[in-house]
């Protein structure tokens, strides 16, 4: 470790801090990053998309989730709150808290001007893993 640099946060550290926090953060590259604040348009699109997905899925076999649930991307040691994602039952969870899934089969991000470069760049590559 370089002198004066902060130690990297582990996934376990992040989850401990995140579960106690009043605001949400993503975890990537050993660091926590604050989540962008949503707006009315974003929330309306997310709500409509979630309702549509729920209506399309086979009951019991697949479930759609909104941004209240975390997703762990193992290959990149990344934890984030996708706008929407779909997982197949039985769900694969990261730990006994059952608040972080590891097995999304579809991920939807609602792109905004503030997040479009990250959403279409690194985040897209992370999700492909």
Is residue 55 a part of any domain in this protein? yes
Model pTM score = 0.86
DSSP label at residue 125? H
Domain CATH code at residue 122: 3.90.1570.10
How many folded domains does the chain comprise? Answer: 1
Could you read off the pLDDT of 112-128 as tens digits, one per residue? 888 888 888 888 988 88
Strand blocks (E) in 1-61: 25-28, 31-34
Is residue 5 a part of any domain in this protein? no
pLDDT of residue 5: 59
Could you read off the pLDDT of 45-62 as tens digits, one per residue? 999 999 999 999 977 899
Pairing of strands 104-108, 84-88: antiparallel
For the cut 80, the answer to whether the pLDDT of residue 40 exceeds it is yes
For the cut 80, the answer to whether the pLDDT of residue 7 exceeds it is no
Q: How confident is the model at residue 4 (pLDDT cuts 50, 70, 90)?
A: low
For the cut 90, the answer to whether the pLDDT of residue 64 exceeds it is yes
Of 4-8, 63-67, 96-100, which gets the smallest average pLDDT?
Answer: 4-8
Is residue 47 a part of any domain in this protein? yes
How many residues can be counted in the chain? Answer: 129
Residue 65 CA to residue 82 CA, distance in Å, equals 9
Is residue 35 a part of any domain in this protein? yes
Collapsing DSSP to helix, strand or coil, 10 comes out as: coil
Is residue 39 a part of any domain in this protein? yes
For the cut 60, the answer to whether the pLDDT of residue 110 exceeds it is yes
Is residue 3 a part of any domain in this protein? no
Mean pLDDT on 75-84: 93
pLDDT of residue 20: 96
Is residue 1 a part of any domain in this protein? no
Is residue 6 a part of any domain in this protein? no
Name the percent of the chain lying above pLDDT 70: 95
25: containing domain:
11-128
């Amino acid at each position: 470790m370089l002198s004066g640099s902060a130690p990297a946060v582990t996934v376990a550290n992040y989850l401990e801090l995140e579960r106690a926090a009043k605001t949400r953060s993503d975890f990537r590259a050993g660091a926590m990053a604050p989540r962008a604040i949503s707006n009315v348009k974003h929330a309306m699109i997310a709500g409509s998309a979630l309702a549509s997905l729920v209506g399309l899925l086979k009951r019991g076999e697949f479930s759609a989730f909104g941004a209240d649930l975390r997703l762990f991307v193992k290959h990149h040691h990344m934890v984030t709150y996708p706008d929407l994602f779909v997982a197949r039952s039985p769900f694969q969870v990261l730990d006994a808290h059952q608040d972080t899934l590891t097995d999304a089969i579809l991920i939807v991000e609602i792109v905004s001007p503030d997040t479009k470069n990250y959403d279409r760049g690194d985040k897209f590559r992370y999700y492909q893993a």
